[in-house]
Amino acid sequence: MERALVVTEAEGGPPETHVLLRGNPNLKGDRVEPGFIEVLGSPEPSLPKVESKSPTCGRRSVLANWIASPGNPLTARVMVNRIWQHHFGRGIVGSPNNFGLGGEKPTHPALLDWLASEFIHRGWSLKSMHRLLMTSEAYQRSSRGDPEQARVDPSGGLLGRFPMRRLTAEEIRDTLLVVTGTLNPKMFGPGVYVEIPQEVLAGQSIPGNGWGNSPPEEQARRSLYIFSKRSLIPPILENFDVAETDRSSPARFTTVQPTQALGLLNSEFLQREAGLLAERLRRECPKGTADLRVARALSLATARTPSRHEVERGVGLMASLQSREGVSADEALRYFCLVVLNLNELIYVD
């Protein structure tokens, strides 16, 4: 029989709560009762009657129902702001963890209010809100601007154009695995340990201590399942601004630095993925010409049909590597795949 350590409420109802004078637990002041935030105009909570042998006092349910109540305007506003931030890179309120006086003012207050009321009206359905935003005119706009627009809205906060967004660190790694055809879509279960270069492990006081070695098929799972260790982060995630592991990260900051380009070109992970993409092309185009393999690689990476010029450039690169550098046809294909995995179009949402 499996057992778990849990905490339960004491029988007989919750103990009385008092204001502690000067924070001293031995100096009890006035007795206080549960209540909601008065400034929001919320009514007094209706607490259930606690029976003598009841396993719970029911107060947490009352609090949860109030948090998700249509009468509480803050919850819906915070949630739709997070959804908007996910799709547009920045929330209508730029400080998603702070909707108070110390936070940023919304760029579109009326839009935020309407989205919050629509979220409640649609039964708090996240899927419905994702569909609403992704089918909106604002989401489907081009990222290209014009001089007049740049003058009126230099930061792009008014959304006259779609803000170009770089994928997050986890999305970049997952996208690479999808393009190479190695992503393991398995869901749930414990975290996995991915391979980390020895140079990175050497930075620990005891190199490799506390870091396991999962099978290759487990390492190919989504980045969501990678084991999190504050002092040991896979380079592909650390280079691309993964969330800090020791504090809350309400928003991701996007940086552009040399280590990102160097990592995508020279890291063991990218070299291995380039080889796997080359194997996929040989497998899917066994008798195909270089044109077909180049077109297939570009379509996998960009999710569109490549132009004739793009295909010719790829074929020319492989021919040049073979004639000038003396590499084999297979090695030239691997180098081309490495170039494909370094395309800006692969990691930017335009």
Q: Are residues 96 and 177 in the same domain?
A: no
Q: Are residues 174 and 284 in the same domain?
A: yes
| pLDDT, position 33 | 85
Q: Are residues 279 and 338 in the same domain?
A: yes
Q: Are residues 281 and 178 in the same domain?
A: yes
Residue 90 lies in a domain: yes
Q: Are residues 172 and 298 in the same domain?
A: yes
| pTM, rounded to two decimals | 0.79
Q: Is 33 exposed, middle or buried (0-12, 13-18, 19+ CB in 10 A)?
A: exposed
From 130, 152, 174, give the residue that closes a domain.
152
Residue with token string 């935020």: 112
Q: Are residues 320 and 246 in the same domain?
A: yes
What are the angstrom distances between the C-alpha of 108 and each of 39, 93, 151, 194?
23, 8, 19, 42
173: containing domain:
165-182+235-350
Residue 31 lies in a domain: no
| pLDDT, position 10 | 64
| pLDDT, position 349 | 83
Q: Are residues 171 and 133 in the same domain?
A: no
Q: Are residues 118 and 178 in the same domain?
A: no
Q: Are residues 87 and 175 in the same domain?
A: no
User: What domain count does the chain have?
Assistant: 2
| pLDDT, position 179 | 97
Residue 196 lies in a domain: no
Q: Are residues 99 and 169 in the same domain?
A: no
Q: Are residues 320 and 241 in the same domain?
A: yes
All residue ranges of the chain with pLDDT < 50 are none
